[in-house]
């Protein structure tokens, strides 16, 4: 059965992935992964995360997929034995030296998309080095993927949803050139996501028009990959794992995307596949730059725009939860009304998304005579004191 692989930047995202049906989760290790500008896991936290994942019959993979210099190899070598002792299920690496080092430490190796694996011969070489799985290049078509998967001596994995990079397999120099922050060391500042005008020395402007005649300014920024409509085609491609991009994304993003793809995959497996338009509407609610099919059916057609998803407004926190009647008390500092779509997010909770139904409001006096608003909500799932509460609202 195909594996649904989800990203996690922290314990809240890890919990969200597991509770919403991920078969495996991949996380970043401090110091040697491609998302160094977001939260990552220390070795102690990786040990805790592995125990939590395994308790729920979910696999845990650790990313160490940056370019590695000799000093990096030395630091990685010191960490690999601890990863082995933590019983992580695999390490994701792109550097040949890193692959060799991980194999020496008896770690299962998944070769990162950064390696740009695009043919069966390369996979056979990686098998000789001791790799167990390859994440195939993003630039392959569906037909190419099918052909490779049918001949591959190793497990194959593909991306099915999330942000796409302007560079081949993410190996970009733009951030490094413009800002001194290297994407290949996990420091990308994403200058490609800005609106650009390209003008030559003789003042000639490079103009890209969209299909409706409008001029596109996000010319370096691809739309997000979204393959929810093509689950049958992906399931029949012969690959072993479907990967969701998003280690920089929040827990509610992970919860939403994982739950949608889990439902779609299960419908196919149960023999009653039918595309549900509501899946696409749910995916549009969380961060996205518009959707495209990547290279699956040829070249991507359009550049992206700004985030088109709903935004989250910080409105309160959970102060109490009653297990017997599933009632949560919230301290709020912004209005919550019946019908609002709320996100409850925390380390143990992950991300729970539900609409406010019955609301009981109580105002109490706090210090200096200020009024505190406390509301009680009926919950569909357990939340925990300290969880933050957000309201989804349309972007102005």
CATH of the domain at 51: 3.20.20.380
Question: Which tens digit of pLDDT belongs to each residue from 107-163?
Answer: 999 999 999 999 999 999 999 999 999 999 999 999 999 999 999 999 999 999 998
Q: How far apart are CA 333 and CA 330, in angstroms?
A: 10
Same-domain pairing of 136 and 255:
yes
Same-domain pairing of 284 and 334:
no
In this structure, are residues 372 and 365 in contact, taking their beta carbons and an 8 Å threshold? yes
The verdict on residue 66 lying in a domain is yes
Tokens describing residue 36: 């160094």
Same-domain pairing of 123 and 7:
yes
Residue ending a domain, among 249, 265, 292, is 292
Domain CATH code at residue 341: 2.40.30.10
The verdict on residue 78 lying in a domain is yes
Same-domain pairing of 152 and 257:
yes
> Alpha carbon of 203 to those of 128, 178, 217, 386: distances in Å?
53, 21, 17, 56
Same-domain pairing of 266 and 355:
no
Report, as an integer, the average pLDDT of 62-80.
90
The total of structural domains in the chain comes to 2
Axis-axis angle for helices 70-85, 43-55 (nearest 10): 40
Residue ending a domain, among 240, 259, 292, is 292
Q: How far apart are CA 128 and CA 14, in angstroms?
A: 33
The verdict on residue 298 lying in a domain is no
Give the alpha-carbon dihedral of 178, 184, 187, 188, to 10 degrees: 50
> Alpha carbon of 274 to those of 208, 229, 277, 283: distances in Å?
37, 9, 10, 17
The verdict on residue 351 lying in a domain is yes
Share of the chain above pLDDT 70, in %: 88
The verdict on residue 232 lying in a domain is yes
Same-domain pairing of 267 and 375:
no
Q: How far apart are CA 230 and CA 224, in angstroms?
A: 15
DSSP H helix total and E strand total for the chain: 10, 21
H or E element, residue 364: strand 359-365
Tokens describing residue 26: 């991949």
CA nearest to 12, candidates 389, 347, 277 = 347
Same-domain pairing of 172 and 283:
yes
- At residue 369, the pLDDT reads 46
Question: Which tens digit of pLDDT belongs to each residue from 256-268?
Answer: 999 999 999 999 9
Same-domain pairing of 287 and 345:
no
CA nearest to 93, candidates 68, 110, 117 = 110
Same-domain pairing of 105 and 243:
yes
Local structure of residue 257 (DSSP, 8 states): H
In this structure, are residues 255 and 246 in contact, taking their beta carbons and an 8 Å threshold? no
SS3 content of the chain, % helix, strand, coil (to 5): 30, 25, 40
Tokens describing residue 291: 């959707």
Question: Which tens digit of pLDDT belongs to each residue from 293-330?
Answer: 999 998 876 665 656 678 899 999 999 999 999 999 99
Whether residue 384 has pLDDT greater than 70: yes
Same-domain pairing of 271 and 317:
no
Domain coverage including residue 280: 3-292
The verdict on residue 297 lying in a domain is no
Global pTM value: 0.88
Same-domain pairing of 16 and 97:
yes
Local structure of residue 29 (DSSP, 8 states): B
Same-domain pairing of 190 and 282:
yes
In this structure, are residues 380 and 369 in contact, taking their beta carbons and an 8 Å threshold? no
Residue ending a domain, among 236, 259, 292, is 292
């Amino acid at each position: 059965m195909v594996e649904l692989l989800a990203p996690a930047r922290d314990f809240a995202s890890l919990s969200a992935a597991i509770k919403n049906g991920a078969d495996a989760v991949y996380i970043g290790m401090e110091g040697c992964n491609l998302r160094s500008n977001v939260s990552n896991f220390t070795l102690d936290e990786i040990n805790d995360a592995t125990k939590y994942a395994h308790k729920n019959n979910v696999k845990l993979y650790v990313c160490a997929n940056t370019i590695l210099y000799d000093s990096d190899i030395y630091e990685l070598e010191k960490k690999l034995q601890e990863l082995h002792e933590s019983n992580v299920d695999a390490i994701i690496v792109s550097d040949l030296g890193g692959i060799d080092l991980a194999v020496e430490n008896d770690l299962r190796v998944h070769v990162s998309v950064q390696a740009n694996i695009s043919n069966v011969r390369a996979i056979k070489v990686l098998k000789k080095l001791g790799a167990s799985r390859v994440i195939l290049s993003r630039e392959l078509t569906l037909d190419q993927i099918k052909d490779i998967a049918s001949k591959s001596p190793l497990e194959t994995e593909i991306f099915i949803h999330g942000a796409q990079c302007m560079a081949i397999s993410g190996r970009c120099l733009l951030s490094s050139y413009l800002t001194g922050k290297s994407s290949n060391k996990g420091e990308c500042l994403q200058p490609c996501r800005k609106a650009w005008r390209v003008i030559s020395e003789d003042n000639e402007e490079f103009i890209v028009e969209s299909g409706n005649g409008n001029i596109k300014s996000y010319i370096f920024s691809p739309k997000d990959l979204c393959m929810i409509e093509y689950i049958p085609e992906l399931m029949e491609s012969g690959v072993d794992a479907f990967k969701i991009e998003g280690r920089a994304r929040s827990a509610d993003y992970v919860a939403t995307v994982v739950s949608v793809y889990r439902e779609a995959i299960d419908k196919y497996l149960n023999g009653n596949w039918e595309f549900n338009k509501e899946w696409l509407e749910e995916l549009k609610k969380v961060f996205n730059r518009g959707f495209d099919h990547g290279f699956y059916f040829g070249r991507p057609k359009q550049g992206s725009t700004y985030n088109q998803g709903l935004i989250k407004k910080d409105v309160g926190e959970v102060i109490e939860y009653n297990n017997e009647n599933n009632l949560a008390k919230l301290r709020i500092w912004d209005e919550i009304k019946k019908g609002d779509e709320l996100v409850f997010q925390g380390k143990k909770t992950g991300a729970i998304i539900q609409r406010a139904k019955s609301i009981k409001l109580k105002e109490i006096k706090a210090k200096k005579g200020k009024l505190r608003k406390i509301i009680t909500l009926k919950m569909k799932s357990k939340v925990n004191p300290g969880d933050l509460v957000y309201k989804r609202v349309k972007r102005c």
